[in-house]
Structures are given as structure tokens and as C-alpha cells.
Structure 1
Amino acid sequence: METNLLHRGRLIDHLQLVVRDIAASKRFYSAVLGALDIPLGGEGEDYFWADELFVSSVSSRAAAGALTGRMHFAFQATSHEAIERFHAAGLEHGGRDNGAPGIRPYHPGYYAAFLLDPDGNNVEAVFHGPANRSAESIVVKF
């Protein structure tokens, strides 16, 4: 029996991607998540998962026979170097560049890179800068 940690208070509890080629997706996600020090949590013949990301084949019971549409989502990283490792690992394992590592204009200190996964999903890794010890959140005004 697998056990997972339950994290209360998050906006997203979990995310499922249904992909065309589970092996290609596993190579890509194992590499980019590994570059961010996030291990795979488990796998089966037609799925794998890491933390709150669940990826399955279109033939899996969880997919109900349909691919998911194009998505954009971001993984949090702990440093600029982790972003650079993420980007390089993704390019080496079937991803396509969608924005090299660098500062973005979203808020001061927003450092990110973007990759397209084997299914064309826009996968980002972002570092928001060093944590403020007195606060757990960054407030951004638009």
C-alpha cells in the first residue's frame, strides 16, 4: 500500500495529464523533476506520479479514453541553478525550448524557464527569490 503526505491549504490538490506516449512523458518528467530534486512517487504500466502530478496513458482507467488539452503549469524551484538544470534536462529528454532560463517581468526576482513536454504542454520552473523568513507568501499587486 502506498502512502502519501496530505498537504492542506494548497490551491491545487492534484493535476492529471493524459498523454499519448507514457514512456516519452516518463523520460521527460523524470529528468526535469529530478533536476528539481523531486523524485517520482510511484508508477505502474500506464501511469506515474510525483508529488501532486499524476500522468497516465490514454488507455488507463483514470483517463476515460481522452487526452487532456494543452496546459500550462509551473514547478517551484529552490535556485537559479535548479532552473538551469531543469531546462537542460528537459531539452536532453524530449522537451522543446519555450523560454530559456532568465528573469521575467511578472514581479521582482521572478526567474523561470519554459519547456514544451512531449505532448506540447507548457511546463515552467520558477524561482521567486530567497524566502523571507517572516513570511511564507509573496504578495504581488497587478
Structure 2
Amino acid sequence: METQEIHRGRLIDHIQLVVRDLPASQKFYAAVFEVLAIPMGGTGEGYFWADELFVSTADSEAAQGVLTGRHHLAFQARDRAVVDAFHKAALANGGADNGGPGERAYHPGYYAAFVLDPDGNNIEAVHHGAAQRSVPSVKITF
């Protein structure tokens, strides 16, 4: 078995979205992940994944033939410029505006943008303002 490396946060291990049009979703997510500096993890017949997000067609065994409903996913951005670039890339690659870049009242410094992906999921990029992380992610090697 080849050694693999993944990075994880603390709460979510993974999320699966089941989509109608896999190529449209892959174009959308590849563009926003490039802006967010998140590498695509892999692709296969009827699916692709990046970090904790697994996206598949309804034909995949894990989907059991059912599309997912409308979800809200928020991706972390390293700064405000990345939030702005996320919004622009999403709109240029099949996304629809659901709230342009700007400060939100959730807490001081909360800067975010919202788009709808090709399946109507509410996708957000957020920068929480000045903060210090102990590490960028948890590195898991197996």
C-alpha cells in the first residue's frame, strides 16, 4: 500500500455531496479550491474529492441513488483577498452569487462571500480576521 497523507481539522471527518452533474461540480470546486490553495485529492468513475469533501454522482455506492439536499459549507480563507478571489472564481465557473464579499455581523472581523454551487448548495469562504493558529492542519500519514 502506498503511503498517503491527509490533513484534518477537529470536528468534521468528511462530507459527501451527491450531485446531478459531476463535470459541472468538478469545474466549480476545482476553481474555488485552486483559489483556496486546497489540492484536489483524487478522482474516479463518478466521484472526486478534496480534503474532507467527497462529491459523487447518485450512482455511487455510498450515495445509494439519492441526491443530497441543500447544504451550507464554509471553507476557511487565509485572508480577505482569498475570499474575494473565491467569489470571483466561483461565479466564473458555474456558481451563482448568494452574498458578495464583505464583513458580516457574526463576530468582529468576520469577512465572507457566499455562492450557490451548480446544485444549489450554499458555499462560503470566510476569513475570521487576525488570529494565530497553532498549526495549519492536523497531518495524518498512513
- The TM-score, its normalising length taken from structure 2, stands at 0.89
Residue equivalent to 2:51: 51
Tell me the alpha carbon deviations over residues 112-141 of structure 1, each in whole angstroms, 9 at most, x when there is no partner. Answer: 0000000000000000012236x78xxxxx
> Size of the alignment, in residue pairs?
134
Q: Report the counterpart of residue 139 of structure 2 in structure 1.
A: none
**Deviation of residue 15 (structure 1)?**
0.4
Q: What is the Cα deviation at residue 5 of structure 1?
A: 2.1
Gaps of 5+ in 1: 137-142
Q: How does 1:75-94 map to 2 (within 5 A)?
A: 75-94=75-94
Contact residue 19 and residue 68 of structure 2 kept, 8 A: yes
For each residue in 1:51-95, what CA deviation from the matched residue of structure 2 results, as whole angstroms up to 9, or x when unmatched?
100000111122110001100110000010000110000000000
Matched residues in 1 for 2:55 and 2:89: separation?
Answer: 19
Q: CA deviation at 1:28?
A: 0.2
Aligned to 2:67: 67
Q: Distance in 2 between matches of 1:3 and 1:62?
A: 22
Equivalent residue letter for 2:110: Y
Distance in 2 (alpha carbons) for counterparts of 1:19 and 1:4: 26
Q: TM-score normalized by structure 1?
A: 0.89
- Equivalent position amino acid for 1:71 in 2: H
| Runs of 4+ in structure 1 over 4 Å off | none
1:2–1:89 distance in 2 versus 1, CA, 3 Å: farther
Gapped regions of structure 2 (runs ≥ 5): 136-142
The residue identity in structure 2 corresponding to 1:5 is I
**Residue type of the alignment partner of 2:12:** I
Aligned to 1:106: 106
| 8 Å Cα contact 2:7-2:51 kept in structure 1 | no
% identical aligned pairs = 62
- C-alpha RMSD of the superposition: 1.7
**Aligned equivalent of 1:5:** 6
Do structure 1's residue 20 and structure 2's residue 20 form an aligned pair? yes
Cα distance in 2 between the residues matched to 1:30 and 1:130:
27
Which SS does the other structure have where 2:27 is aligned?
Answer: helix
SS at match of 2:81: helix
- The answer as to whether partners of 2:111 and 2:127 remain within 8 angstroms in 1 is yes
